[in-house]
Every structure is written in C-alpha cells, then in structure tokens.
Amino acid sequence: MFLVSEAEKPFDWEEILGVYKPQSCNLRAACCSVSTPSVPVDELMKMAADGDEFSRDFLSVFLPHANHQAARDFYPEQPDHIDRVLEMVSGQNTKVKMDPESVVFYHCQYLGENRLCQVYEDRPAFCRKYPSSPLNILVKGCGYEGWVASCKAKLLSLGYEVSGG
C-alpha cells in the first residue's frame, strides 16, 4: 500500500533514521501486481486532476483489478496480502482508516508476462523510490522488508508508535 500523504510530501526516511535501503528489490513484482493507494479512487482522481504528481503518475501506469478476488488471483504467490490490507485498514490502530469495500487494488500495464518491467529505464519516480516510507504495507517476501523492519525498530527505540504491515 502506498501512503499517499507521504507520497505527496515524502520524508527522507533514510537520512532521518540513518537506515539505508538496499539498492534494488528482489524482483518479485509484488508492488507492480497488487498495489493500492491509501485513498479511494475518486479522491485519487481528484488529486490527479489538481496536478498532484504521485496520483497522476500512479493512474498513468496502473489499471484496477476488477475486484478483490481478481487481485488475489493475479498474485497467487501471496493471496493473503489482499486480506491483510483489508484487515489493516479497518483495524482500530491503523494510520490508514478506509472502508474495505472502497479499497481498490491495481496492477501495472507495463508489467510483462515474465513479471519484469517493460519500461524499466523510463519507469515513474514513485517506482524508483518505492517504498518511499517504512509505513507502507509491503507484500510478504518483498525485498524491502528488512529495511522496513529496521526503520520501525529505530522508530520504536526513539519512542514513536508504529503501525502498518
């Protein structure tokens, strides 16, 4: 899940926490297959119309899955991810409160059959920066899980409450 509030004005988490991301992911293409922004689609479209760069770029490459089951089927490596996100957004302690029915999952139109990006050299900035925040909900097995865990441990050690997956 992309935290849209942070995509608009991203913190430089690596600099702030001194925890540096790996140079590349493990190429499982989970974020390209079952992504979801932390706002409903009508809000995302309004933000794009108002010139928000992240929303515009997101909608320029991603296509919505027809429904939650279609998203599960599209990424069978981690079918539980969809339910994990839906559970988290409806939980009590979540940073992202959403009606699960309004959550839309997307897949990128440039993802090849081999699960490789077909426009890798020209991919949008948000793909290059992903995950822009350690509070994003990652698919289990994502190559950035270690970075997220280290950032959360650092935040906890500094006395911050940490939510997200």
- The reply to whether 74 sits near ligand SF4 by the rule CB under 6 A is no
Give the whole-angstrom CA distance, residue 135 versus residue 131.
9
- The reply to whether 70 sits near ligand SF4 by the rule CB under 6 A is no
- The reply to whether 25 sits near ligand SF4 by the rule CB under 6 A is no
The helix-helix angle for 53-61 and 41-49 (nearest 10°) equals 120
| Closer of 58 and 147 to ligand SF4 (Cβ) | 58
How many helices (H) and strands (E) the chain has is answered by 9, 2
Name beta bridge partners: 37: 2
Residue 128 C-beta: closest distance to ligand SF4, Å: 8
Which one of residues 7, 71, 108, 139 is an interface residue with ligand SF4 (CB under 6 A)?
108
Helix (H) or strand (E) holding 106: strand 106-108
Which tokens hold the place of 123? 């991919």
| Closer of 74 and 110 to ligand SF4 (Cβ) | 110
SS3 assignment, position 55:
helix
| Closer of 49 and 116 to ligand SF4 (Cβ) | 116
Which tokens hold the place of 74? 């599209």
Q: Which of residues 116-155 bind ligand SF4 (CB under 6 A)?
A: 117, 119, 123, 127
Q: Which of residues 27-46 bind ligand SF4 (CB under 6 A)?
A: 32
Query: Which residues bind to ligand SF4, rule: CB under 6 A?
Result: 32, 61, 108, 110-111, 117, 119, 123, 127
